[in-house]
Amino acid sequence: MGKLDFKNKWLVVTGASSGLGEALALELASKEGANLIITARRKEKLDSLKSRIESEFKREVIVIESDLSDPKSVENLFRESTGKREIFGIINNAGMTDFNPADIKDFEKYEKIIEVNMKAPIKLSLLFLDYFKKKGEGAILNITSMGAFFPLVYQGAYTASKHGAQVFTEILSKENSGENITISSFAPGGIATEMLSNSGLDKLRGSDDFFNWSAERVAAKAIKSFKKKKLLGIPGFVYKLMLFLKRFMPKKALLKAAERTYRKK
């Protein structure tokens, strides 16, 4: 039951064009000596990251442009990745949110959030699980959120999708506990990334807020947890304490506290 070793192995990282995905790719290349297949919608940003990793850290990088809100793109990512190199692991990191009261006029947006945050990582987990079983080894890390455990009021679709991804990961891990395959999850809190500013959450609490960690700090914690094969990684004592105290709070009180926290000013 030793730690995972990523040196000279190939890992897929989704949502790698910016934020946590970019930081995860840099952490794996610079600290772990991994080779990478990086994917996202914005190819120009992926190409820039590829150039940086190859020049600074002398690791191999392959870019695959993909939109994980499209189910066909999810299947294509799997085929292309496994067709180019022998893959040791995948980190399902891509995610999106919406910060507004739930409204039927935004349902198409919610469908996209669910596709990216839940359906894509579930399908990729299953596709790579089958691939890893045939290889005899592999590793899957699904980046979820503290929102998987707490009702983030005004982010209903995001919370629901992350909860679904979290529960599925835990069940998949149990069902495959006899295999030589690591199936892990990591649930960060706030991260100072584009998703924070694009959703407007940065106006609620600034990017430098105590609860909004840097992407680099979260990435280091995530990879450390993954290497230790933890079923669930939670970064930082405060978040661990919050998750512990949650079990003693009535549901109504928890929802009230969440509404006050995320109420737009």
pLDDT at 236: 87
Average pLDDT (148-161) is: 94
- Whether the predicted pLDDT of 203 surpasses 60: no
Q: Pick the closest to residue 70 from 106, 123, 120 (CA basis).
A: 120
Give the residue extent of every domain in the chain: 10-262
pLDDT, one tens digit per residue, over 23-72 is 999 999 999 999 999 999 999 999 999 999 999 999 999 999 999 999 99
pLDDT at 140: 98
pLDDT at 177: 95
- Higher model confidence: residue 236 or residue 129? 129
- Higher model confidence: residue 203 or residue 265? 265
pTM of this structure: 0.91
- Whether the predicted pLDDT of 210 surpasses 70: no
The domain defined by 10-262 folds into: Rossmann fold (3.40.50)
What sign results for the dihedral spanned by CA atoms 255, 245, 225, 207? positive
User: How is the chain classified by DSSP, letter by letter?
Assistant: ------TT-EEEEESTTSHHHHHHHHHHHHHH--EEEEEES-HHHHHHHHHHHHHHT---EEEEE--TTSHHHHHHHHHHHHHHS-EEEEEE-------S---GGGHHHHHHHHIIIIIHHHHHHHHHHHHHHHHT-EEEEEE--GGGTS--TT-HHHHHHHHHHHHHHHHHHHHTTTSSEEEEEE---EE-SHHHHHHTHHHHS-TTSTTEE-HHHHHHHHHHHHHTT-SEE--SHHHHHHHHHHTTS-HHHHHHHHHHHH---
- Whether the predicted pLDDT of 195 surpasses 70: no
